Amino acid sequence: MAAPMRLKSTLAVVTGGGSGIGRAICQRLSQEGASVAVVDVNIDSANETLQSLSRGVPGQDHVVLTADVSRSDSVLAVMEQIQSRFSAPPRVAVNSAGITRDEFLLRLSEESFDSVLSVNLKGPFLITQAVARSIVSSGQNGGSIINIGSIVGKVGNLGQANYAASKAGVEGLTKTAAKELAKFGIRCNTVLPGFIATPMTDKVPQKVLDKISGMIPLGRLGQPEDIADVCAFLASDDSKYITGTSIEVTGGLYL
């Protein structure tokens, strides 16, 4: 079924757009008419995403921007490049960049803890702040910020103390941003994926994935497109009265 066209004339920035969930989000937003800034630390994969984007709407213009979202100078440079190319702030921002450094708590290094928190939590903070500042300073209110959390942030997971903490933090950040930014018409929500088949979960042994599939009421791992569907809804005016919430997209896992 063809995607609706809810995002014509909308500029969206998607971090982690080079792979997995972020790539599917870039594709879906472009299918709905948005111009997309694909942000990723990996320029080759971001360029692959760029090649796959829809260009069906006159004026649609996509760009790849290389950045490390955990660095404020890098995020600032992204915002400057967006401003000079589009002469407008992004109205939609999706924070999908994320990493894992799994290890049991008793062996977890400080470096692994810090690196996961830097990308998964500080990254969304820096992007949320930068995008909100650019919207506010444009004098034209309105926007939607979507953070990709994880169901693991709610329930924990063996070997993921750093990751679960970062994703729980994302929900707190998002709820606070929603309260502070509502007066500027900026909505902020978190999407909580369950287990989604992407390069990130390719690292999980097949035996474990089979076990998880068996625990999912809908009977399968999620696909990146399952998350992209929800992000497109949150990006669009169809969700105009929704802010500060978290939407679980898990196939019913951990109900």
List, by residue number, the catalytic residues. 163
Task: Kindly give, in sequence order, each residue whose CB lies less than 8 Å from that of residue 48, ignoring residues fewer than 6 positions away.
Answer: 18, 23
Q: Which is nearer to ligand NAD, 33 or 41 (CB)?
A: 41
Residue from 113, 125, 195, 233 in contact with ligand NAD (CB under 6 A)? 195
Q: Does 124 bind ligand NAD (CB under 6 A)?
A: no
Structure tokens at 110: 């400080």
125 binds ligand NAD (CB under 6 A): no
Applying CB under 6 A, among 193, 239, 251, 253 the residue interacting with ligand NAD is 193
Per rule CB under 6 A, count of chain residues that contact ligand NAD: 29
Burial of 154: CB neighbours in 10 Å, binned 0-12, 13-18, 19+: middle
Does 201 participate in binding ligand NAD (rule CB under 6 A)? yes
Q: Assess 169 for contact with ligand NAD (CB under 6 A).
A: no
**One-letter amino acid identity for 143?**
G
Q: Facing residues of 193 across strands? A: 249
For residue 2, the 8-state DSSP code is P
Task: Calculate helix-pair angle for 161-181, 123-138, nearest 10 degrees.
Answer: 10
Output the smallest distance, CB 212 to ligand NAD, in A: 10
Number of helices and strands in the chain (H, E): 10, 7
Closest approach of ligand NAD to the CB of residue 137, in Å: 24
Nearest to residue 171, comparing CAs of 150, 157, 187? Answer: 150
| Residue bearing tokens 């929603």 | 178
Binding mask 50-89 for ligand NAD (x = CB under 6 A): -----------------xxxx-------------------
Residues forming contacts to ligand NAD in the complex (CB under 6 A) are: 15-16, 18-22, 40-42, 45, 67-70, 96-99, 119, 148, 150, 193, 195-196, 198-201
